[in-house]
Amino acid sequence: MSISGLVRASMRLVTRQGNCVFQSRLGGVRFSHGQQETDEEWDQRMTNFFQRKDLDGWDVRRGLQELFSIDGVPDPVTISAALHACRRVNDHSLAVRFMETLRYKCGNKVREIYPYLIQEVRPTLDQLGISTPEDLGYDKPELALQNAEDMHTY
Amino acid sequence: MAFLSRCVSRKLVATPGGWLLSQSRMASHSAAVGAHGHGQVATHGGHDSHGHGHVPAYRAAIGNREVVGYGWDGEPSYGDSVVWPYPAVRFQEPSAAFQSVIQKEKADWRNLSIDDKKKLYRYNYCETFSEMLAPTGVWKNITAIVIFWMTLGLWAFITLKKVYGPLPETFDDEHRLAQLKRMIDLRVGAVDGLASKWDYEKGRWKE
């Protein structure tokens, strides 16, 4: 998809989406001087960041960690941009890991928020060929590790 | 943007003496160039490819694993954490077993099968989120230990009540009041203790 197409898609999503994601985010202090950044500005800033074409894997991971660190669930537009960034650095697993963090961040509202997120980013997932953790069977534990602390105690 | 760019541009520079976190990409580039000029080891981000004739010290620990990010503290190490979900290195070395999927990943992802994607995931990560969050069952162990000590306390209580006889007669009110009277007569704690609270002229407790 071209940039203009992406922006148009983004605008469509912005005008269409409800409040349910925003309400789950607390209006936090961002420890910045001067004017406080609104949620919308923050979404836009993160989206712009992920849309940059010169990001490498380090940058994408830092951005994803930033998304993960906030007290809330990112906007579907931002998620979409982040998935495209994962595509540009050729890291499908990073996209899957990111989807897993989204599910984790939904907390005890996972049944309400997560299907909404998937529904909103479904076009991006299909376009890029990204499998959700559920598609890979990672919504349930697949393998088990023996706890290293339990190995040689007796 | 300032905060974010500051975050994303922190890079890792390895020197023989230890780790340096340079504050900007420029700085790490110049450090790398400078160190290279002096024949020292310096790496930067994912570009720590071989060719300088030096192997960074951390290679002994991580082998050929690709350093792909900052991780949680800048060290090129792997660990599964729900707080820092993006470790600094891939979980597996890029061995021959993974080469085919690594190459396929560079093309259209729609051509990847589910098995390919799962293989790629385990190449990058050890545990999935649901595996990290899976219950360990250790609560049963803890509950057993707690109930064991509670039971022990219960048995001690039962022993006191049933095995030993009744309390000595000095525990009843009459004997205890007599003991109190004796303490007052002996002026125990005359300065700020018991006797200081007793009014000897009126023969009762002070107001």
Dihedral-angle region of residue A47 (phi above 0 means left; psi in -120 to 50 means alpha; beta otherwise)? alpha
CB contact under 8 Å between A58 and B117, yes or no, is: no
CA pair distance A62, B25, nearest whole angstrom: 14
CA pair distance B186, B206, nearest whole angstrom: 17
Domains of chain B: 2-133 (no CATH), 138-205 (1.10.442.10)
Q: Is the pLDDT of residue B7 over 70?
A: no
CB contact under 8 Å between A100 and B118, yes or no, is: no
CB contact under 8 Å between B125 and A65, yes or no, is: no
Q: Give domain status of residue A18, yes or no.
A: yes
Residues A30 and A17 in one domain: yes
Q: What is the pLDDT of residues B87-114, one digit of tens each?
A: 999 999 999 999 999 999 999 999 999 9
Give mean pLDDT, residues A69-89: 94
Residues A70 and A9 in one domain: no
Helix axes A76-88, A92-105, angle to 10 degrees: 160
Among B68, B69, B114, select the one facing A135 at the smallest CB separation: B114
Residues A97 and A126 in one domain: yes
CA pair distance B68, B49, nearest whole angstrom: 12
Q: Give domain status of residue A97, yes or no.
A: yes
Unique residue bearing structure tokens 């836009």: A44
CA pair distance A96, A103, nearest whole angstrom: 11
Q: Give domain status of residue A126, yes or no.
A: yes
Residues A131 and A69 in one domain: yes
Q: Give domain status of residue A131, yes or no.
A: yes
Rounded to the nearest angstrom, the minimum Cα separation between A144 and chain B is 7
Q: Give domain status of residue A147, yes or no.
A: no
Q: Is B69 on the interface with A (CB under 8 A)?
A: yes
Cβ atoms of B78 and B89 closer than 8 Å: yes
CB < 8 Å from A in window 76-95 of B:
82, 84-86
Among A61, A93, A144, select the one facing B70 at the smallest CB separation: A61
Q: Which residues pair with B14 in a beta bridge?
A: B19
CA pair distance A143, A145, nearest whole angstrom: 7
Better-predicted residue by pLDDT, B65 or B5: B65
CA pair distance B195, B189, nearest whole angstrom: 5
CA pair distance B189, B53, nearest whole angstrom: 86
CA pair distance B86, A59, nearest whole angstrom: 12
CB contact under 8 Å between B121 and A62, yes or no, is: no
Q: Give domain status of residue A54, yes or no.
A: yes
Residues A15 and A69 in one domain: no
Residues of chain A whose C-beta is under 8 A from some C-beta in B?
32, 45-46, 48-49, 56-59, 61-66, 68, 87, 90-94, 96-97, 100-101, 103-104, 128-131, 133, 135-145, 147
Rounded to the nearest angstrom, the minimum Cα separation between B14 and chain A is 16
Q: Is the pLDDT of residue A143 over 70?
A: yes
Half-sphere exposure of B29 (CA within 13 A, CB side): 4
Dihedral of CA A123/A125/A128/A129: which sign? negative
Dihedral of CA A124/A130/A135/A138: which sign? negative
Q: Give domain status of residue A153, yes or no.
A: no
Residues A62 and A79 in one domain: yes
Q: Is the pLDDT of residue A75 over 80?
A: yes
pLDDT interval class at A153 (50, 70, 90): low
Residue A126's closest chain B neighbor by CA? B110
> Is B90 exposed, middle or buried (CB count within 10 Å of its CB: 0-12, 13-18, 19+)?
buried
Q: Is the pLDDT of residue B198 over 60?
A: yes
To test the contact with chain A by mutation, choose from B118, B136, B138 the residue with the greatest count of A C-beta atoms within 10 A, namely B118
Among A90, A89, A114, A91, residue whose Cα is nearest residue A101: A114
Q: Give domain status of residue A154, yes or no.
A: no
ipTM attached to this prediction: 0.74
Which two structure tokens, joined as six digits, stand for A9? 């898609």
CB contact under 8 Å between A68 and B136, yes or no, is: no
Q: What is the pLDDT of residues B142-187, one digit of tens each?
A: 999 999 999 999 999 999 999 988 889 999 999 999 999 999 999 9
Residue A32: predicted pLDDT: 55
Which two structure tokens, joined as six digits, stand for B108? 């259209």
To test the contact with chain A by mutation, choose from B68, B114, B129 the residue with the greatest count of A C-beta atoms within 10 A, namely B129
Residues A8 and A84 in one domain: no
CA pair distance B71, A61, nearest whole angstrom: 8
User: What's the structural domain count of chain A?
Assistant: 2
Residues A97 and A45 in one domain: yes
> Domain of A48: which CATH number?
1.25.40.40
Residues A68 and A17 in one domain: no
Cβ atoms of A133 and A100 closer than 8 Å: yes
Residues A88 and A135 in one domain: yes
CB contact under 8 Å between B128 and A129, yes or no, is: no
Cβ atoms of B88 and B124 closer than 8 Å: no
Residues A76 and A121 in one domain: yes
Which two structure tokens, joined as six digits, stand for A52? 């940059």
Residue B207: predicted pLDDT: 84
Residue A60's closest chain B neighbor by CA? B8
CB contact under 8 Å between A129 and B68, yes or no, is: no
Residues A32 and A58 in one domain: no
Name the maximum alpha-carbon separation found in chain B. Answer: 104
Q: Which amino acid is at A46?
A: M
**Which domain range does residue A110 map to?**
38-139
DSSP strand pairing (B11-15 vs B204-205): unpaired
